[in-house]
Structure 1
Amino acid sequence: MDKPYVIGIDVGGTNTVVGIVDKRGQILRSGSLKTAKHANVEDYLDELAEVIEDVIKDIATKEQIKGIGAGTPNGNYFTGSIEFAPNLRWKGIIPFAQMLEERVGIPVALTNDANAAAIGEMTYGAARGMKDFIVITLGTGVGSGIVVNGQLVYGHDGFAGELGHVIMRRSNGRVCGCGRSGCLEAYTSATGVARTAREYLELQHDAKSQLRNIPIDEITSKDVFDAAMAGDEMAKEIFRFTGEMLGEAFADFVAFSSPEAIILFGGLAKAGDLIMNPVRESMERNLLPIFKNKVKLLFSELKESDAAVLGASALGWEVR
């Protein structure tokens, strides 16, 4: 039987998006659920299976689905497991692909969520035609998909490309969700931006900011963005700080893989020039001379949910 469809799943720390995709790369229908709602992975997978069934109905039968591809935090392409994901409530090693396959009866493959975004960008987005690039995902955490000579870099164990966990500050570094201190993710993820805002508000007692109108423990990166767009100086400074640290890290990333482009993807990328201008200035300032003015900094050309779902769905065509 012809199997003209695949399912793509983007498992984020907060939300999960599911889409049914045809051979032209069109998402025909999508659904979603709250990842963070379920403390028990069994309950989460039960609801995920229901969402998949709902997305499929009216479009295809299960027999017409070639496979399911999932992009997950700390997803291991080689084993099909989620392993020690710091931004998920389920701890340890979870044989995600096997558990989902048992529920839905369709073969499942998975990869790291940032790798899925990189595959989506290479196939449908800003990296079309490129063989060497890095996708940086700026969401609940900071992830990366590294492509060298047209191939995703997985490493010997499936975990290469954890650029969100390079250590940026060795002395008095912020504690990261991974348990270490000073990681890039602790500063430049959406949660990191909110932490920076709280630090600024506590340390700069006299500085005026509309962020003071929000309970300090409830501030989000979107609140900082909204304030910056309204001209709030403290909020703009928070984005400058975030962008400068990203640019510093990017200069190091360029040194090891000399990418044609670094592509920003995810919620924080919506900040546009607020984040991009300090990133570009900081990266160029910190680059080795041989790399200056060579590396493009781009925003994803795909809708946030679409890129990860499409990238993950590409794995669905390859499953057995």
Structure 2
Amino acid sequence: MPQPVVLGIDFGGTKTALAVVDAHGTRLGSVTVPTAAEQGAESSLKRAVSAARELLAEVAPARELTAIGVATIGIPGETGVELAPNIPGWSGLALGRELRAAFPGARVRLATDVKAAAGVEAEEGALRGCDPGLYLNLGTGLAVAIVAGGRVVSGSNGASGEIGYALRRLADVGLTLDERTPLEDVVSGKALFENAVRHLPPGATGAEDVFARAPHDPQVAEVLADFLDELSFHLVNLALAVDPRRIAVGGGLVRSWDALHGPLRRALDAALPFPPELVPAAHPYDAPLLGALALGLAAAREPDSGEVGKAEGSATDSPEHARIP
């Protein structure tokens, strides 16, 4: 009888990555599709479900799908996803319920993408053995995750590390989110590109073009310097609060690690009494997907307790992250 399989899905602001593994964690296949956030939550989910069905049919025909692990922007719950403005309608989408309906019989577990990524780095990556450690995600958005005692700190509402909502100046004190500019609107891959795009040549598509252009264009260099200064300011203050042994950086901007490392390193060394190590993540680009697969594998190994109506779990709810060979 064919072995059952597990599906992992990573919903990001610009792309959705999917992979299928067997019960031992061996990857059978993977695919990436555009999230197309501008088309709304339902469209994004339908695209992911369609891609998942095609992938399963291709790499695991006639094999039972026993569990689905999901990493998503925002904080997933039973009735919606909080703090996920990048995909219109995501906050009102019962993601786990919809996936259980699309794949009847499969157990579904969800986690915030950055926390899922940090769990993988703590279990088998750059934060293994670091207590505490910080995982800094520099992608389309901005967030961190704190690792303490080998586990990711969730927070009382699952919102630990959501520094994209941080205040940026003294004048922000007492203002609501609608009345101020949150940090993520200035310090993120999306923000960096939007602030520099008027200085970039035609055809530029993302933050990587900013890093490539900066050494040759003073205007682009100034935009990048402002970005790095503000990022450094908040990273230093966070490091003072946590006193991490190591900071691991993941996300798409790690492709420009040489340009990132120097300014961040200098800021940490100048301000902190005990500067931590600063390293790229072991899985800088796919840790959220690996975390989703780990959640799915852990769910598949749980005793059968009747999945219907069961609330979704988080990366910190599962009994450690299942190791993926």
Name the TM-score class by shorter chain: 0.7 to 0.9
Gaps of 5+ in 2: 303-325
Superposition RMSD in Å: 2.9
Contact 2:249-2:284 at 8 Å conserved across structures: no
Letter in 2 for 1:318: A
**How far apart are the structure 1 equivalents of 2:191 and 2:39?**
23
Task: Tell me by how many angstroms 1:118 deviates.
Answer: 0.9
The yes-or-no answer on 1:302 pairing with 2:283 is yes
In the other structure, the counterpart of 1:204 is: none
Partner residue of 1:83?
Answer: 82
Aligned length: 298
The aligned amino acid for 2:296 is G
Give the equivalent residue in structure 2 for 1:264.
249
**Structure 2 CA distance, aligned partners of 1:80 and 1:4?**
28
The answer to whether the Cα contact below 8 Å between 1:10 and 1:70 also exists between their aligned partners in 2 is yes
Equivalent position of 1:188 in the other structure: 187
- Deviation string 1:70-109 (CA, Å, 9 cap, x unpaired) is 1111133x64731241111225332101111111122211
Secondary structure, counterpart of 1:318 in structure 2? helix
Q: In 2, distance between residues paired with 1:108 and 1:310?
A: 15
SS in 2 for 1:92: helix
SS of aligned partner of 1:57: helix
* Residue 276, structure 1, aligned to residue 261, structure 2: yes
**CA contact under 8 A between 1:18 and 1:52: conserved in structure 2?**
yes
Question: For 2:294 and 2:179, how far apart are their aligned partners in 1?
Answer: 33
The 5 Å alignment of 1:85-164 reads 85-105=84-104, 106-164=106-164
For the Cα contact (< 8 Å) 2:140–2:188, is it kept in 1? yes
| Matched position secondary structure for 2:84 | coil
Residue in 2 that maps onto 1:222: 208
Q: Is the 8 A contact 1:126 1:263 kept in 2?
A: yes
Residue 74 of structure 2 aligns to which amino acid in structure 1? N
Q: Please tell me the residue identity of whatever aligns with 2:207.
A: S
SS in 1 for 2:159: coil
Is the Cα–Cα contact under 8 Å of residues 194 and 221 in structure 1 kept in the other structure? yes
TM-score (norm 1): 0.82
Unaligned runs of 5+ in 1: 202-210
Change in Cα spacing, 1:196 to 1:278, as seen in structure 2 (3 Å) is farther
Give 1:4 shift.
5.6
**How far apart, in 2, do the equivalents of 1:80 and 1:146 lie?**
26
What is the distance in 2 between the residues matched to 1:248 and 1:220? Answer: 23
Over 3 Å counting, the alpha-carbon distance change for 1:3 and 1:236 in structure 2 is farther
Q: TM-score, normalised by structure 2?
A: 0.80
Answer yes or no: is 1:234 the counterpart of 2:219.
yes
- Range with bigger deviation, 38-47 or 253-262: 38-47
C-alpha contact (below 8 Å) 2:4/2:22 kept by paired residues: yes
Q: For residues 149 and 214 of structure 1, what CA distance do their matches in structure 2 show?
A: 48
Cα 1:99/1:282, change in 2 over 3 Å:
same
Change (3 A) 1:3 1:81: farther
Match of 2:56 in 1: 56
The answer (yes or no) to whether the contact 1:100–1:108 under 8 Å persists in 2 is yes
- Give the equivalent residue in structure 1 for 2:8: 8
